Amino acid sequence: MDGQTLVSRMKRLGEVKSIKEVTQLSSAIFPGPHCPLMGAMMAVRGIKDSIMLVIGTDECTYYTKNTTISNAAFGGIDGRCLSVVLDQHDVTFGCKEKLDAAFQELMEEYRPRAVFLVTTCVVEVIGDDVDSMAEQLQEKYGIHIMPVHTEHFKTENHLPGVRDTITACFDMMKKQPVTDRVNVIGQRMGDFTTTELYRMLCQSGISLGMKLPSGTTVSEIEQAPGAKVNIVVNPIGLPLAQKMQKAFGTPYVLFDKYIDPDRIYGLYQELFSCLERPVPQEVQTLYQRAKQAVTEARSRLEGITYIYGNTPIDCFEYNAFMVKLGMRPLLIQTNDLPPEGDPNRQAILDRWDPYVTKTANIAPLQYVYDVLRPNLYLGHEYATRLRKKGIEIVHGDIMSPMLGLEVTLAGVSELIRASDAARQLREERKAI
């Protein structure tokens, strides 16, 4: 591949209006996106007394079972991930007869409190009405049965599978008296109880209810409308939170993994207002520390160039934050694109107009590095390969388990470390 040719095929952020207009660097994608079936696995894994029943061809069911066998949360080979394997007859005449027989066997052996009927691409293509089948099975057996559709041809990655699985949990919920607790919706990485946000809630006497999909039970899902507030820690949790607000009046706060201290402090104020509690004094102290860290970082980060790959932080919020620090984005990889007029997008475009391309394709990027010559790479890459080209990697995964102003403090510290290392790399290369 030729780096100049690849760069010439890219569009700049200011030229694109939707993700469909963003080009990918090659047809062969490495490491490539996962399908929504994986997302459904990730979600059901965290619901302890439920069963995942995958309906599909032997390829899809083998992939699911093989993936979950080694996962302790699923219970190994005899665990909570089961399959209905379709053959040519089922594809031609429908899967209802086989599903009914499999479900009877499932109930006799496992006696679960909830079952997720997860359809794969073939089921969706042939048009089997699994939603109606789920209703009939629920009426017959008297347990929660939720259909989840995971056809890959409609999606870019696995996240819709997580979103749709946790949204399906709405059908398990029942009206409850409201108490001083919160639900945490959408956490994909880390343990919420290790976060700064959890510590602030504990200081205010607020307990945890449902934690979906990071570890919960069917009973906690049923009682989730009794929470005072839903804390949505990733946009995949928004559809469920919005349905709960409409049905039960439960307010929600989108407290995503942000890095701008002003935004985080504003979310703390919004959250504790909903909880009818004062913002803890420790939050005030951390906010001042974070603001000071940002002020001191500007002189050390001014003019640093970078390629953005993939991090735990919200993509455009993080890039807007770095631009405000005086850093220059050369290329942003993304799975989604905020609309024109979005404050973060506009904050970037007010100063720079970087190239944009789709994520999950690090292989052809090695040909781009010599053309763009960034100081930093943010995301998953081979650090040794980058350093040979005078590029330092920013280790964003340190922020994966964090929520709150701790993200700012850790993130700024890592940007400074990486920028100092990048300068040293450049000096060493000049000396050779």
- SS3 call for 162: helix
CA distances for 259 relative to 18, 345, 412, angstroms: 25, 15, 9
Whole-model pTM?
0.89
* Position 279 confidence tier, pLDDT thresholds 50, 70, 90: very high
Q: Which residue has the higher pLDDT, 262 or 358?
A: 262
pLDDT above 70 covers what percent of the chain? 97
Q: What is the mean pLDDT of the chain?
A: 90
pLDDT of residue 360: 67
Q: Is the pLDDT of residue 181 over 70?
A: yes
* Position 282 confidence tier, pLDDT thresholds 50, 70, 90: very high
Query: Could you read off the pLDDT of 126-146 as tens digits, one per residue?
Result: 778 888 999 999 999 999 999
Q: Which residues contact 224 (CB under 8 A, 6 or more apart)?
A: 173, 176, 183, 209, 210, 212, 244
Q: Is the pLDDT of residue 30 over 60?
A: no
CATH homologous superfamily, domain 173-281 = Nitrogenase molybdenum iron protein domain (3.40.50.1980)
Q: Is the pLDDT of residue 14 over 90?
A: yes
Q: Is the pLDDT of residue 81 over 90?
A: no
Q: Are 43 and 64 in contact (CB under 8 A)?
A: no
* Position 291 confidence tier, pLDDT thresholds 50, 70, 90: very high
d(CA 21, CA 11) in angstroms, rounded, equals: 8
pLDDT of residue 31: 58
The mean pLDDT value for 106-123 works out to 88
Domain positions in the chain: 3-30+282-431, 36-155, 173-281
Query: Could you read off the pLDDT of 199-234 as tens digits, one per residue?
Result: 999 999 999 999 999 889 999 999 999 999 999 999
Total length of the chain: 432
Pick the CATH number of 3-30+282-431 from 3.40.80.10, 2.60.40.3620, 3.40.50.10490, 3.40.50.1980: 3.40.50.1980
pLDDT of residue 426: 85
The mean pLDDT value for 151-164 works out to 80
Q: Which residue has the higher pLDDT, 124 or 169?
A: 169
Task: Point out the least confidently predicted range of 43-52, 152-161, 286-295, 383-392.
Answer: 152-161
pLDDT of residue 320: 97
Cβ count within 10 A of residue 191: 12
Asked if the domains 3-30+282-431 and 36-155 are classified in one and the same CATH topology, the answer is: yes
- Per DSSP, what are the bridge partners of residue 53? 82, 117
Q: Which residue has the higher pLDDT, 190 or 251?
A: 251
Cβ count within 10 A of residue 384: 8
pLDDT of residue 366: 86
pLDDT of residue 32: 57
pLDDT of residue 29: 57
Q: Which residue has the higher pLDDT, 243 or 341?
A: 243
The mean pLDDT value for 255-271 works out to 96
* Position 59 confidence tier, pLDDT thresholds 50, 70, 90: confident
The mean pLDDT value for 47-58 works out to 87
Domain 36-155, CATH 3.40.50.1980 — does that match? yes
d(CA 1, CA 329) in angstroms, rounded, equals: 23
State the Rg of the chain over Cα. Answer: 24
